[in-house]
Amino acid sequence: MILILEGIFIGINSKILSNLYQERAKQILKEDTILVKLVAEGNPRTKYQELFSNNALRFTLVDLTGKVVFDSKKTEEEEKRMDNHLQREEIQEAIEKKESFTIRYSETFDTVMAYYAVSIKNSVGEEYILRTASEYSKELLQIREFHLVQIVFFLILNYVIHFFYKNYIKRDFYTKIKRMRKFLESGEMEKINYSKDEYWLFEFWDILKEWQGKNLKNISKLEKERRILSEVLHSVDLFIGLLDSEGKFIVKNTSLKYVVDPYEEKYLEAIKYLELITPIKNGLVNKKEYREDIYIQSLKKYFLFTMKYLEFSNRFIITIKDITSTREAVEVQKTFINNVSHELKTPLTNIKGYLIALEDAPEVMRKKFLNTIKTNVERLENIVLDFLNISKIENSNLVNISQVAVEKIKKELLEILSGKINEKGAKVDFLFNLTDGRDYLKVDSEKIFMILKNLIENGIIYNKNSEPEVIVKVDEKGDRYNISVEDNGIGIPIYEQDKIFERFYRIDKARTSNLGGTGLGLSIVKTLIEKCGGGLVIDSIEGKGTIFSFYILK
């Protein structure tokens, strides 16, 4: 568009200049013609040669047939040879309109000339066309030069404008890009103005905003998920770490701080025990999966160590779990099963032996054998009952508190223990000291019953006194009951007092005649008291008696 306008401008300018030049040439030729006309009209034709030959001005006289009658720049001979001028543009027009002005190429002079022609009459009344001419090529050249100068000027102008405009566009574009960038980075939006030409930018900006909106949503979603993951990672009780191939932790949780330093990146510095460093070192080299139980001597703990190679990312996942309690539980279970088998084996072997002997035994012995078999069956029964109690107690944490009448407790205990009481001629006394003279306890009846039954039974069994006696005292104090079971039995040596609560532990069997014991009674008692929120102590003197004191919560 601008180029077209510039073209028009140059064209108009050139036309004006050309018109000016033409007008000036015409004017000069016209003035010359007036002079020549004056001179020519006042003189006969024969005098023309003399009058005009030395003049710088060229003029030609042509008659109405087109014959050149006179040419101021030609000799008479040359004039005669000159071709007919009737077809010349200016001559034709002058004949028709009495005056004409033309600029055209002259074959005679091989250049562009300006011609001015008028009709004149000489002194004798003959009509001629008087034509004056002057060279016009210089003017043409000047016009062209002017033309060229204008073109060059506009070219430079265009270039300069283009240069500044481009820079302006660049800067403007850069400012907009900067704002977009700021928006993308911080979500902060500044207004951006667009010109019509930049509609594409507007659309692009719209797409960008939409995209950024989605992006921000995704980022916050990802951030949330990252937090959840991190929370999960840090809440598990095993150590999890992602190790790169250089042996640096990229991510790790803070569990097992006593094994892995949470602030160190390199595994060699983070892992505190050689027992764990060695398998990691091997894993890094062999890129294989590892899973093994590792015992750390100085900690006296077992750990389950796993290492997995992630081929795609060339990284390793390491987990370390403290499995000491599981291992110990397994050990305890193993010992328990061994003990159970051992405990069951003895009465079973006895029963089997006496049954075989019974077949051929004389009548007098039979009763004795049957009694032994009965004792062993009772022992088996005791063992099985204790096992059942143990598994029942260990599998339930429930404490079922209710009001239990004191009389009911006394009655049931005396009833169930009546066999042993009668056998030993023992005396069992109960002393209840309850708040406001209440006649009930707020306890888990099943548990308190089992505790007291075991303790009273032991007080009767492990008793060689001629008058065996067991006293049960219950004192109510605030939120608890302080209970003691006291006997006048054989007592427990001080060095045995801790051990008697272990499962299957029995003090030298020779001390008593009790063959039915399982060594489980006190371990059951201790567990039950703990489940009732209490604790237990022993006070015993060998040969004098024992007091088991404990408390339970209401």
Radius of gyration over alpha carbons of the chain, in Å? 66
For residue 487, state whether it binds ligand ADP (rule: CB under 6 A): yes
Binding mask 404-443 for ligand ADP (x = CB under 6 A): ----------------------------------------
Q: DSSP string spanning 41-94?
A: HHS-GGGHHHHHTT-S-EEEEEETTS-EEEETTS-HHHHHHSPP-TTSHHHHHH
Using CB under 6 A, which of the segments 45-53, 213-221, 439-447, 511-519 binds ligand ADP? 511-519
Rounded to whole angstroms, what are the CA distances from 286 to 69, 160, 175?
A: 122, 70, 55
Shortest reach from residue 339's CB to ligand ADP, in Å: 12
Under 8 Å between Cβ of 91 and 132? no
Amino acid present at 133: A
Q: Which of 492, 528, 536, 552 binds ligand ADP (CB under 6 A)?
A: 492
Minimum CB distance to ligand ADP smaller for 96 or for 429: 429
Q: At its nearest, how many Å lie between ligand ADP and the CB of residue 328? A: 21
Contact window for ligand ADP (CB under 6 A) among 4-12, 26-34, 151-159, 498-506: 498-506
Residue among 307 and 390 whose Cβ is closer to ligand ADP: 390
Tokens of residue 502, six digits: 């272990």
- Rounded to the nearest 10 degrees, the angle between the axes of helix 2-42 and helix 137-186 is 170
Residue 519 sits in the site that holds ligand ADP (CB under 6 A): yes
Q: Are strands 58-63 and 68-71 parallel, antiparallel or unpaired?
A: antiparallel
Q: Closer to ligand ADP at the Cβ: 134 or 546?
A: 546
Question: Which x/- pattern, by CB under 6 A, does the window 198-227 give for ligand ADP?
Answer: ------------------------------
Considering only the stretches 27-35, 255-263, 296-304, 483-491, report the one whose residues sit in contact with ligand ADP under the rule CB under 6 A.
Answer: 483-491
**Tokens (6 digits) for 337:** 């099963």
Q: What amino acid is encoded at 209 in this protein?
A: K
Residue type, 506: R
Q: Which of 143, 421, 452, 500 binds ligand ADP (CB under 6 A)?
A: 500
Nearest to 38 by CA among 130, 148, 147: 130
Q: How many residues bind ligand ADP (CB under 6 A)?
A: 20
According to CB under 6 A, which one of 239, 517, 529, 552 is a site residue for ligand ADP? Answer: 517
Closest CA to 319 of 220, 234, 242, 421: 242
> Minimal distance in Å, beta carbon 466 to ligand ADP?
16
Q: Does 489 bind ligand ADP (CB under 6 A)?
A: yes
Site string for ligand ADP, 115-144 (x = CB under 6 A): ------------------------------
Q: Write phi, then psi, for 263 (nearest 5 degrees).
A: -95, -10
CB of 491 to ligand ADP, least distance (A): 6
Q: Which residue in the set 241, 283, 347, 521 belongs to the binding site for ligand ADP (CB under 6 A)?
A: 521
The CB-of-385 to ligand ADP minimum distance in angstroms stands at 11
State the minimum distance, in angstroms, from the CB of residue 548 to ligand ADP: 7
Question: Which listed residue (240, 276, 421, 522) binds ligand ADP by CB under 6 A?
Answer: 522
Using CB under 6 A as the binding rule, the residues of this chain from 360 to 379 that contact ligand ADP are none
**How far is the C-alpha of 333 from the C-alpha of 339, rounded, in Å?**
10
Which of 490, 528, 532, 552: binder of ligand ADP (CB under 6 A)?
490
Residues from 456 through 475 that contact ligand ADP (CB under 6 A):
458-459, 462
Q: Report the residue from 114, 316, 506, 527 that binds ligand ADP according to the rule CB under 6 A.
A: 506
Q: Encoding tokens for residue 204?
A: 């692009």
- CA distances for 166 relative to 2, 152, 161, 172, 246, angstroms: 16, 21, 8, 10, 52
By CB atoms closer than 10 A (0-12, 13-18, 19+), residue 408 is: middle
Stretch that binds ligand ADP, among 57-65, 224-232, 368-376, 454-462 (CB under 6 A): 454-462
Instruction: Retrieve residue 335's tokens.
Output: 């010992």
Q: According to the binding rule CB under 6 A, does residue 305 interact with ligand ADP?
A: no
Query: Could you tell me the CA-to-CA distances from 282 to 163, 248, 279 in Å, in that order?
Result: 67, 15, 5
518 near ligand ADP (CB under 6 A)? yes
CA 179 to chain CA centroid, nearest Å: 26
Residue ranges of alpha helices (H) inside 305-444 are 324-360, 363-395, 406-416, 418-424
Residues near ligand ADP (CB under 6 A): 458-459, 462, 487, 489-492, 500, 505-507, 517-523, 546
